[in-house]
Structure 1
Amino acid sequence: MKKFLIGILAVIVIGFAGLQIAEHLVMGGDDYYVQITTDGQKEIVKADNGQEYINYKYIVTGYDEDGKEKQLEFTGQQDRPLRKSAYLKVTWNKKKGVTSYEEVKQSDIPKTAEKKLNKG
């Protein structure tokens, strides 16, 4: 019985670890820091059921913690533009593009990336 329970626990742990790795590969990626300087391009998207949704598309220059530059394109999934002057940490995946973003404080941005963002 003890070996059986250990086996079940091992399967659960391995399964959980596998899910974490898969999530990282699909949704994870490299972090870039951006500053929102425009309202974005308004897009009206119609769902299959006919309901309309408003999104805002952004094309911005982001910088990683080493100051490496990358053009990033993503859609804000809300019915209003992102706040101008907001700083975002954007996760970029080679296969999926931008997979997530979150607003961060300027003090949370690595110094090299912050210098690049504030150069202009």
Structure 2
Amino acid sequence: MKKVFLGIGALFLLFVAGLVVLMTVDFNRLNKEAYYVHITTDGDIEEYKLDSGEIMKMYWYEIPAYDENGKEQTLKFSAHKNLRHDAYMKLYVKKETEVTSYDEVKFNELPAKVQELMKK
């Protein structure tokens, strides 16, 4: 009988641990390459209508981005709001061009080579 309760307890602990991992890990950022951009203009607006009739806006950006070594690549990504001018963004990229997520960062949080390139 003790073995049954131990088995059920172990399964419960595994279930709880799995839930914690699913709630805390952002899989859009896990094992992705980081690129950095400087937002200087508004995004191109794309409007679309939902089934409910509500109109949604998507803001598209296509700008040069730099990896931590200073390698430049033009990336295209979208945001649900117009990003703040003069903001520095860290983009999470998979398959070289697919942006899965982004965060705003401060200039001093950028890698040194990226800081040099963005000062120009």
Common topology (TM > 0.5): yes
Alpha-carbon deviations, 1:20-71, whole Å to 9, x = none? Answer: 9x963xx231111100011111111211222101221100111111112221
Q: 1:50 aligns with which of 25, 28, 53?
A: 53
List runs of 5+ in structure 1 lacking aligned partners: none
Shift of 1:19: 5.3
Gaps of 5+ in 2: none
C-alpha root-mean-square deviation of aligned residues, in Å?
Answer: 2.7
Matched, 1:9 2:9: no
1:113 aligns with 2:114: yes
Match of 2:42 among 39, 49, 52: 39
Count matched residues: 113
The code of the aligned residue for 2:90 comes to K
Task: State the TM-score, normalized to the length of structure 1.
Answer: 0.76
SS at structure 1 position matched to 2:83 = coil
Q: For residues 52 and 95 of structure 1, do their structure 2 counterparts lie closer, same or farther at Cα, with a shift above 3 Å needed?
A: farther
Name the TM-score, length of structure 2 as normaliser.
Answer: 0.76
Paired position in structure 2 for 1:63: 66
